[in-house]
A and B are shown apart, each in its own frame.
Chain A
Amino acid sequence: DVKVTQSSRYLVKRTGEKVFLECVQDMDHENMFWYRQDPGLGLRLIYFSYDVKMKEKGDIPEGYSVSREKKERFSLILESASTNQTSMYLCASSRDRGHQPQHFGDGTRLSIL
């Protein structure tokens, strides 16, 4: 089974802090994705990556950046956290660019105070 692990289930940070959310997958998947989930808005794609050191903007990249230095790890960075970035963050991976299902981690519930 594919295992996608997000480093924290719950995280509380302060406005202006630099925040790192980490995600690791163990199936040698090429693709990795970061979403945020908010009530009434569903899942929105922030950034994704097709390979090491590659990144693509999703639908809502403003205020975020990503890093993929190793194939198994995809980090989401909030450069200067703001209260409107309080949300549930979900990481996913998939095998390649074909029609493949995405496999999700358990999510990180981030609160910015």
Chain B
Amino acid sequence: GEDVEQSLFLSVREGDSSVINCTYTDSSSTYLYWYKQEPGAGLQLLTYIFSNMDMKQDQRLTVLLNKKDKHLSLRIADTQTGDSAIYFCAESIGNTGKLIFGQGTTLQVKP
């Protein structure tokens, strides 16, 4: 079955780049999403990429996709304290409308 895995915790210093990693298992064409959750709030859609793409850039965010290894990463350039949050990777499942979520990576940004 489908599964999405993420590391649980990442700590960086303000101004550094952050790289959050995710692996997925579905072999069919799919969309992959990154969400951000700030404390006490819902999930906010950050960006997404189709599985036939290699890269997508949106301001400070860069998504890289290694299709062979089914590995997805989210790079945040010039990380700020406001980027401290939980980041979820999610994979779209066929024609169901459903998403499979990773466990979430807590990003801690130290001043």
Contacts and interface: CB of A to CB of B under 8 A. Distances in A.
Interface string B81-102: 0000000101010011111011
Q: Chain B: interface secondary structure?
A: strand
Given A101-B45, A106-B41, A45 B31 contact: no
Contacts of B31: 99, 101
B97 A107 contact: no
Given A42-B104, A99-B31, A104 B43 contact: yes
A103 B45 CA distance: 7
B35 to A, nearest CB: 8
Contacts, number: 54
A84 interface: no
Nearest to B101: A43
B97 A98 contact: yes
Contacts of A6: 42
B41 A101 contact: no
Nearest to A44: B101
B111 to A, nearest CB: 25
B7 to A, nearest CB: 13
B102 A42 contact: yes
25 contacts: A4-B42, A30-B97, A31-B97, A40-B103, A50-B97, A90-B42, A90-B43, A92-B43, A94-B97, A96-B97, A98-B95, A98-B97, A99-B30, A99-B31, A99-B50, A100-B92, A101-B31, A101-B33, A102-B45, A103-B45, A106-B41, A106-B42, A107-B40, A107-B42, A109-B40
Interface of A: 4, 6, 30-31, 33, 40-43, 45, 48, 50, 90, 92, 94, 96-107, 109
Given A100-B97, A102-B99, A104-B35, 11 more contacts: A6-B42, A42-B103, A48-B98, A98-B97, A99-B50, A99-B92, A101-B31, A103-B45, A104-B43, A107-B40, A107-B42
